[in-house]
Amino acid sequence: MAYDLEFEKPLAELEKKIATLQKKGDRLKPEEHRQIQDLERELRRRTEEIYRDLTSWQTVQIARHKDRPHSLDYLHMICDDFFELCGDRAYSDDHAILGGLSQIDGETLMFVCHQKGRTMKDKQYYNNGMPHPEGFRKAGRLMLQAEKFGLPVVTLIDTQGAFPALEDEERGQAEAIASNLYLMSRLRVPTLGIVIGEGGSGGALALGVTDRILIMEFAIYTVTSPESAASIIWRSTSFAQQAADAMRIGGRELKTLGLVDDIIPEPLGGAHHNPRLAAETLKATIQKNLAELKQIPLDELLEMRYQKYRSIGHFAWADEAPQT
Amino acid sequence: MAREAAVPPAGEANPNEFQRPRPTTGNLVVKCPKCKEILLAREWEKNQKVCLRCNYHFKLTAQERIKLLVDPESFVEIDANMVSADPLKFVKSTKDEVQTYPDKLQEEMKKSGLNEAVISGHALIESMPLALAIMDFRFLGASMGSVVGEKITRTIELGLARKIPVLVASASGGARMHEGTFALMQMAKTAAALAKLGDAGIPYFSLLTDPTTGGVTASFAMLGDVTLAEPGALIGFAGPRVIEQFMHIKLPEGTVNSEFVLQHGMIDAIIHRSKLRTTLARLLRMYAAEARPWTRGSRALQVAKQIEGNDGLRPGI
Q: Is B256 on the interface with A (CB under 8 A)?
A: yes
Ranked by mean pLDDT, which of A19-23, A180-184, A229-233, B287-291 comes out on top? A180-184
The predicted pLDDT at position B244 comes to: 84
Give B316's pLDDT tier (boundaries 50, 70, 90).
Answer: very low
pLDDT tens digits for range B195-215: 999 999 999 999 999 999 999
**What kind and span of H or E run contains B258?**
helix B258-263
Residues of B in contact with A177 (CB under 8 A): 218-219, 237
Instruction: Say if the Cβ atoms of A177 and B237 lie within 8 Å.
Output: yes
Counting residues of chain A whose pLDDT is more than 70, the rounded percentage is 98
B103 three-state secondary structure: helix
Structure-model confidence comparison of residues A22 and B69, the more confident one: B69
* Confidence at residue B6, expressed as pLDDT on a 0 to 100 scale: 44
Residue A139 above 90 pLDDT? yes
Check A222 against B184: CB less than 8 A apart. Answer: yes
Are A169 and B243 inside 8 Å of each other by CB?
Answer: yes
- HEC letters along chain A: CCCCCHHHHHHHHHHHHHHHHHHCHHHCCHHHHHHHHHHHHHHHHHHHHHHHCCCHHHHHHHHCCCCCCCHHHHHHHHCCEEEEECCCCCCCCCCCEEEEEEEECCEEEEEEEECCCCCHHHHHHCHHHCCCHHHHHHHHHHHHHHHHHCCCEEEEEEECCCCCCHHHHHCCHHHHHHHHHHHHCCCCCCEEEEEEEEEEHHHHHCCCCCCEEEEECCCEEECCCHHHHHHHHCCCHHHHHHHHHHHCCEHHHHHHHCCCCEEECCCCCCHHHCHHHHHHHHHHHHHHHHHHHHHCCHHHHHHHHHHHHHCCCCEEECCCCCCC
Contact list in B for residue A323 (CB cut-off 8 A) is 113
Q: Per-residue pLDDT averaged across A37-42, rounded?
A: 88
CA distance B296 to chain A (A): 21
Contact list, B180 vs chain A (CB under 8 Å): 222-223, 246-249
Decide if A181 and B192 are in contact by the 8 Å CB cutoff: yes
**pLDDT above 50 for B35:** yes
Residues of chain A with C-beta less than 8 angstroms from the C-beta of B215? 201-202, 223
Cβ contact, residue pair A233, B194, below 8 Å: no
22-81 in A: which are within 8 Å (CB) of B? none
Contact yes or no for A158/A195 (Cβ under 8 A): yes
Band (A31; pLDDT cuts 50, 70, 90): confident
Residue from the list B187, B217, B249 with its beta carbon closest to the beta carbon of A181: B187
List of residues 6+ apart from A291 with CB closer than 8 A: none
Contact at CB, A169 and B184, closer than 8 angstroms: no
Across A31-35, A146-150, B309-313, which has the greatest mean pLDDT? Answer: A146-150
* A21: confidence class by pLDDT, cuts 50, 70, 90: confident
Chain A residues with CB under 8 Å of B93 CB are 242
**Closest residue of chain A to B244, computed from CA coordinates:** A165
Chain A residues near residue B146 by CB distance under 8 angstroms: 312-315
Question: Poorest-confidence range of A250-254, B94-98, B132-136?
Answer: B94-98
User: Would strands B118-125 and B128-135 be described as parallel, antiparallel, or unpaired?
Assistant: antiparallel
| A22 has pLDDT over 70 | yes
Residue-level pLDDT at B8:
41
Q: Return the higher-pLDDT residue of A1 and A323.
A: A1
The CA distance from B106 to B83, in Å, is: 10
Average pLDDT over residues A120-131: 94
Question: CB–CB of A166 and B184 under 8 A?
Answer: no
B chain contacts of residue A202, beta-carbon cutoff 8 Å = 184, 187, 214-215, 218-219, 237
pLDDT higher than threshold 50 for residue A11: yes
Angle, helix B146-162 to helix B180-199, in steps of 10 degrees: 10
Do the Cβ atoms of B74 and B81 come closer than 8 Å?
no
Rounded to the nearest angstrom, the minimum Cα separation between A153 and chain B is 17
Angle between helical axes of A173-184 and A133-149 (0-180°, round to 10): 20
Chain B residues whose beta carbon lies within 8 Å of the beta carbon of residue A257: 87-88, 181-182
Which residues in chain B have their CB less than 8 angstroms from residue A246's CB?
A: 88, 90-92, 180
Say whether pLDDT at A26 is over 80: no
Q: State the pLDDT at residue B15.
A: 45
Each residue of A290-308: pLDDT tens digit? 999 999 999 999 999 999 9
Residue-wise pLDDT tens digits, B267-312: 999 999 999 999 999 999 998 755 454 444 455 555 555 555 544 4
- pLDDT over 80 at A230, yes or no: yes
For A75-119, the pLDDT digits (tens) are: 999 999 999 999 999 999 999 999 999 999 999 999 999 999 999
Nearest to A185 among B81, B195, B246 (CB): B195
Q: In chain A, what percentage of residues exceed pLDDT 90?
A: 75
Q: CA–CA separation, B151 vs B82, rounded Å? A: 8
Is the per-residue pLDDT at B25 higher than 80? no
Are the beta carbons of A309 and B223 separated by less than 8 Å?
A: no
Which of B90, B184, B260 comes nearest A246 by C-beta?
B90
pLDDT, tens digit, for every residue of A274-286? 999 999 999 999 9
Average pLDDT on A51-66 reads 91
Q: How high is the pLDDT of residue B208?
A: 97
Q: Which of A150-154, B24-28, B31-35 has the least mean pLDDT?
A: B24-28
Q: Is the pLDDT of residue A318 over 60?
A: yes
B242 touches chain A (CB under 8 A): yes
Q: Is residue B5 pLDDT above 60, yes or no?
A: no
Lowest mean pLDDT among A108-117, A217-226, B213-222, B239-248: B239-248
pLDDT at A17 over 90: no
Q: How much is the ipTM here?
A: 0.93
Nearest Cα residue in chain A from B61: A324
Distance CA A215, CA A259 (A): 10
pLDDT tens, residue by residue, B103-154? 999 999 999 999 999 999 999 999 999 999 999 999 999 999 999 999 999 9
Q: What residues of chain A lie within 8 A of the CB of B157, using their CB?
A: none
Interface test with A, best of B177, B194, B257, B302 (most A CBs within 10 A): B177
